[in-house]
Each structure stands twice: as C-alpha cells, then as structure tokens.
Amino acid sequence: MKKTLIVILCFNLFNAAFAQEKVADKIAIKSVINQFFDGMRMVDSTMILDVVHSDATLKTIYFEEGSPKVGISEMSEFITAVGTPHKKTFDEQIWSYDIKIDGNLATAWTEYSFYLDSILLHCGINAFELFKSEKGWKILGITDTRRNENCQEKPENTINELMDNWHKAAATADEDVFFGSMTEDGIYIGTDASERWLRDELKEWSAEYFKRDKAWDFTPIERQVFFSEDKKTAWFNETLNTWMGVCRSSGVLVLTADGWKIKQYHLSMTVPNEAVKEYLEMVKKY
C-alpha cells in the first residue's frame, strides 16, 4: 500500500512539474514574439536578431488574380529593412495567442492587425514555428495571411472613440448612447463629495438635463489609455475643457459581449497649487 501511494505521489509530482514547465515555456514563447514586434516598432534590429534563428524564413500567403500564392523572403532582408531608420512606425498589434508545444518544437498562431503609424493597412494570422535551443526559444519561421476585411482595430482607438462619443452624447443630450455606454452596475463619481451614483441612479438624477438640447458639454483635451494583459480591462485618465474650467477624470472599462463599457468614471476639478489655500478657505464656508 505504501509503495502504491509513493508511486502515485511521484506520478502527481512529475505531472505538476511537467505542467509548470509547459506554462513557463508558453510565457517564454509569448515574450519572444512580443520582443520581435517591439523591435520592429522601436527600429531595433538587435532585438529581433536576439529571438530569431539564423535559418529563419518569412512566408506570406496571398492571392494574385484569384489564385493563391506563396511569397518567400529572407529574414535577413526583413531585419535590415526594420533596422533602417524610417519616418513611420511599423506597428503590428497581436490580439491572441494559441501556443502548442511538443518537446523542443512549438507553434504559435496569432491574430494581428498591422498599422503604419495609426493607419490600418491589413490584418490576418501569423503562424510561428519555434525551436528551443540552448539559448532559449528562437523563431524558425513565420507564415502570415493578409486581408483588408474584418480587421480588429487597436483597443485604444476603440476606447477613444467610445469615450469621445460618450462625452458627445452628453453634449447633445443623447440619453441612449450616454447610458448605453455604461455597464448596468457602472458608477459615476462627480465633483461634489456626495456625488456617487450607480448608472440608473445617475439616469434618474439627470433626467431633467437630458430633456434639454444639451445635458452638459465636456470636451476632451488629452487622454491616456492602459490595458490589462488579457486586453479585457482598460483604465484611463483624461483632461477636459468644461464650464468648471479644466477638469480631470479617470475611469475603468470592461470588454463585454456587447463591446467595451464604462464600469466607473470619476470626475474632479483641478485647482492650481497657488490657489489651494484660497480654495480651502472658500470651501470652509460650505
């Protein structure tokens, strides 16, 4: 009985160690792929050389006059082109990773969209083949597809469009767009210390404002957007031109089945440092 338990324990420990090793390999492979595209964005050929096998090749599947074709190019030509200074940024955004591993061989299937600066040129799939060498995982080859239809936009573009339309909805008293852009449990925190509403509470409170031609008019000046690693949560900060002067806000968005929605929005007024004492004296009266 003891021998059986020992065998089972050893088997479980082996499986756990094997699973941990596979997770570590997947993390390493994802890091290699990210470094490849970071090098492309940063015009740094050494970053790419560090993760590419010396015999690596590039292939593209495309159509010419209705017939499928395969274009083949040397990785060295690509690296030279990437490392040559150019005015516009080559920006390939990866949306998903499907990594398979067997020993020292791995494949990674990644969805992507390719931008030249902020202009979307094409999208498709990258099929990576990788080899685990003594120096870690190296890219043996990349085969991609390219299309111009049904391309996924940069998440920050989608967020910026949503937020701009949300502010515009308030400025034009479009109740459906404004509240439809928030989750059901979305929270709005206003400039007054008492102003913390759930979405439907805010809807009830602001009903009289949305009956007018304009509820309130806040115009974005600048905005920074950040994302969780799985690209399903976003947070931002922005400055706004308002009737209260320049305001600052921050918020959290979540990716739902219906697209991005505002989970929390926090608006605050800005006070110049030189005017803080005067401001505090004024607030004391209330």
Of 100, 127, 145, the one marking the end of a domain is: 145
Q: Are 115 and 13 members of one domain?
A: yes
Report the pLDDT value the prediction gives residue 9, as an integer from 0 to 100.
Answer: 46
Q: Are 134 and 162 members of one domain?
A: no
Burial class (CB in 10 A: 0-12, 13-18, 19+), 166: buried
CATH of the domain at 196: 3.10.450.50
Indicate the number of domains in the chain: 2
Report the pLDDT value the prediction gives residue 96, as an integer from 0 to 100.
Answer: 86
Classify residue 32: in a domain, yes or no: yes
Q: Are 196 and 159 members of one domain?
A: yes
Q: Are 119 and 159 members of one domain?
A: no
Classify residue 150: in a domain, yes or no: no
Q: Are 87 and 194 members of one domain?
A: no
Report the pLDDT value the prediction gives residue 112, as an integer from 0 to 100.
Answer: 94
The tokens describing 142, both together, are 């990349």
Report the pLDDT value the prediction gives residue 19, as an integer from 0 to 100.
Answer: 57
Of 110, 145, 180, the one marking the end of a domain is: 145
For the beta sheet containing 245-256, the strands, ordered from the edge strand earlier in sequence to the opposite edge, are 196-198, 182-189, 259-269, 245-256, 233-242, 219-227
Q: Is 186 left (phi over 0), alpha (psi -120 to 50) or beta?
A: beta
Q: Are 138 and 237 members of one domain?
A: no
Spatial contact of 272 and 170, defined as CB atoms under 8 Å apart: no
Q: Are 17 and 109 members of one domain?
A: yes
Q: Are 123 and 180 members of one domain?
A: no
User: How far apart are alpha carbons 263 and 253 in whole angstroms?
Assistant: 5
Q: Are 176 and 240 members of one domain?
A: yes
Residue stretches of the chain with pLDDT short of 50: 7-14, 16, 18
Q: Are 23 and 94 members of one domain?
A: yes
Classify residue 95: in a domain, yes or no: yes
Q: Are 85 and 211 members of one domain?
A: no
Classify residue 251: in a domain, yes or no: yes
Q: Are 84 and 213 members of one domain?
A: no
Q: What is the pTM of this model?
A: 0.59
Q: 218-237: buried (b, 16+ CB within 10 Å) or exposed (e) per residue?
A: bebeebebebeeeeeebbbe
Give the HSE-up count for residue 104: Cα atoms under 13 Å, Cβ half-sphere: 8
Q: Which domain holds residue 99?
A: 2-145
**Radius of gyration of the chain from its Cα atoms, rounded to whole angstroms:** 26
